[in-house]
Amino acid sequence: MQKRKLGNSGLEVSALSLGAMGYGKSRDIPDRTEMIAVLRGAVDRGMTFFDTAEVYGPWTNEEMIAEAFRRMRDKVIIATKFGWDIDQKTGEHRGGVNSRPEQIRSAVEGSLKRLGTDYIDLYYQHRVDPDVPMEDVAGVVKDLIGQGKVRFFGLSEAGSASIRRAHAVQPVTALQSEYSLWTREPETEILATLEELGIGMVPFSPLGKGFLTGKIDATTKFSDTDMRGKIPRFEADAREGNQRLVDMLRRIGEQHQASPAQVALAWLLAQKPWIVPLFGTRKLERFEENIGALAVHLPADNLAELNQSKTTMPVEGARYPDEHMRRVGL
């Protein structure tokens, strides 16, 4: 698989990353065996970069990552995250954020133990904590790097000011934020900030939480446990309006024998050489489809049309409910 470097940090990873958020987020993981097979199958197909977080479960996701990659730690680059208010003794998610220094120090020990490793490759602050100075957060992670417990520092959904404040204390390797053909906000300021500072980007939901695959339309029904049922962008009227973006992806894909998902990923890969899209899938066949995007090379006219879609077919509906949007871009 192709490799990319995340900014100026020197951290080289596979050009696409697999996110395990959808695996084992509850205490009961009925398809644990199948999910471990997907993770190991990804390694067999050349992927090196994998993403988890202590809050997924909490804790069960990291434990499953450890089981999947036992005896192959040297083949994988593992990113995990801190920053939610989780009781470090019980695993209770108390709601809200918590990046106090003592919480970070406790969280990293827990993640190391659950992951069965003595170092974390990339350690993200999951969301900015407005009550803790960013300099303090970066300072703790700098200490952890000095101790060899963490290799690289990352932020998630942070705004430009927070990125700059953190980077001044401990160089930031990557920002993980939502970016795709239907979430173009990073183009306003974030991408320029990252390029200036030499920071890579790991866009999550590069396929619009599944919408850009073309497998969701206005008639799709979501289960009570599917978070998309609570997102304004996935309301039936919004999905109907946003279908034109998928129609464009399908049309361009037909020119290149590519699926809509492959075109969406190829567009994102073409934006910057330091962008490494992070997708999630529970099926190896979907994994293989997605990594097929690396072989799709869109010509200038296709890229221009896709770039212009931001104005020619603006996306309808917010990407999160209001309470979640309040934690974005701090």
Q: Residue 248 contacts by C-beta under 8 Å, 6 or more apart in sequence?
A: 305, 306, 309, 313
Cβ atoms 175, 202 nearer than 8 A: yes
Distance of CA 192 to the CA centre of its chain: 19
292/12 Cα distance (integer angstroms):
20
Token pair, residue 48, equals 């090196």
Q: Residue 53 contacts by C-beta under 8 Å, 6 or more apart in sequence?
A: 21, 61, 62, 80, 81, 124, 126
DSSP letters, 215-228, are ---TT----TT-GG
Nearest one of 182, 207, 180 to 287, comparing CA atoms: 207
Taking CA atoms, 76 is separated from 14, 50, 181, 197, in Å, by: 10, 7, 29, 26
Amino acid identity, position 10: G
Query: Phi/psi class of residue 3: alpha, beta or left (left: φ > 0; alpha: ψ in -120 to 50)?
Result: beta
E runs forming strands in 111-218: 120-125, 150-156, 172-176, 200-201
Q: For 222-321, where are the alpha helices, taking DSSP H only?
A: 236-255, 260-271, 284-291, 300-312
Q: What are the backbone angles phi and psi of residue 84, rounded to the nearest 5°?
A: -90, 160
Of 23, 56, 123, 124, the active-site residue reads 56
Cβ atoms 268, 180 nearer than 8 A: yes
Taking CA atoms, 267 is separated from 85, 203, 261, 279, in Å, by: 36, 12, 10, 14
Is 23 designated active site?
no
Catalytic residues, by residue number, are 56
